[in-house]
Amino acid sequence: ETGVTQSPTHLIKTRGQQVTLRCSSQSGHNTVSWYQQALGQGPQFIFQYYREEENGRGNFPPRFSGLQFPNYSSELNVNALELDDSALYLCATHRDQTRGYTFGSGTRLTVV
């Protein structure tokens, strides 16, 4: 087991809706990153949170936003869903910049 839990595992939403995905951090891992993985591609960095603040962002629009809580768990929110948002969303946790990025199993989001 990875120690990183994501929920839900699968989700179907309608275009234009909003979605919240959740990630619980492995004990002691105070940094969480979110990635989007389209089918057949490598994960793409969305953003990272460290000590409850966004600390780095990839090439994603502002409708992708997040939160990190004092217990280091995290949420990814996506507003105004588009069909192209259909993907596997992964969170990865780690302790500062040390080695050992642990990924969750992801949330499979389908936008119809």
> Please, which residue, 2 or 18, has the CB nearer to other proteins?
2
Q: Which is nearer to other proteins, 12 or 80 (CB)?
A: 12
The DSSP bridge partners found for residue 91 are 34
Is residue 29 part of the contact set for other proteins (CB under 8 A)? no
Asked if residues 107 and 8 have their Cβ atoms less than 8 Å apart, the reply is: yes
Does 104 bind other proteins (CB under 8 A)? Our answer is: yes
Sign of the dihedral through C-alpha 92, 24, 46, 69: negative
- Minimum CB distance to other proteins, residue 90 (Å): 5
Q: How many residues interact with other proteins (rule CB under 8 A)? A: 29
- Cβ-based nearer residue to other proteins, 43 or 66: 43
* Residue 99 contacts residue 2 (beta carbons within 8 Å): no
Q: How many Cα atoms sit within 13 Å of 92 on the Cβ side?
A: 21
> How far from each other are the two terminal CA atoms of the chain, in whole angstroms?
32
Residues forming the site for other proteins (CB under 8 A): 2, 4, 6, 31, 33, 35, 40-45, 48, 50, 55-56, 58, 90, 92, 94, 97, 99-106
